[in-house]
Chain A
């Protein structure tokens, strides 16, 4: 069966520090991969999605970037965090056009 792993679960980082969040999927090949952010009490905002290695689309201009070094690995990064980057970051995958997204457990990021 397919599983998605996301880490770390929680993170507290100072303003201006770098960020690296990692997500891996097991049990499937060539998945579509997504990074979403959820502000407290709000809906989900799509940040990046990828349909293959080195095929990444950015949805919202910001100081975040994403990379997909391997088929089932998706990384969210920042060189310098802002206070506004705080939130709940969710990685997700699917691999069929009509299938729902399957979400990881999320990373709660607090920028201080």
Chain B
């Protein structure tokens, strides 16, 4: 059974600082996704990572994938308050299924 672990689960950081969220998964997969969820809202797709070494960047967020290490990272650069949300990684398993991590609740403080 595929396990997807994110850490940290809770992250409080100051504006302007950098930090990295980690997503480890237990079995081989070739696709990984990052999502953002604002409180009380649905999930919004951020990144799709489809190959080993893939790197995607959007604004202050950058995601990477190392399929050999079964690890993805979401790096936050110079955080701003608007980035406060819960971030999920999701790993493709067989068929069309995704297994989600537990989420990282990020709070960016002024």
Contacts of A46 in B (CB 8 A): 97-99
The number of inter-chain residue pairs (CB within 8 angstroms) is 51
Number of B residues whose C-beta is below 8 Å from A?
22
Residue of A nearest to B105 (CB): A41
Query: Which listed residue, B33, B44, B48, B101, touches A43 by the CB 8 Å rule?
Result: B101
Q: Which residues of A contact B (CB under 8 A)?
A: 32, 34, 36, 42-44, 46, 49, 51, 57, 59, 90, 94, 97-106, 108
Contacts of A57 in B (CB 8 A): 95
Binary interface encoding of chain B residues 43-78 relative to chain A, with 1 for a CB under 8 A from any of its CBs, else 0: 111001010000000000000000000000000000
Q: Which residues of B contact A (CB under 8 A)?
A: 31, 33, 35, 40-45, 48, 50, 88, 90, 95-103
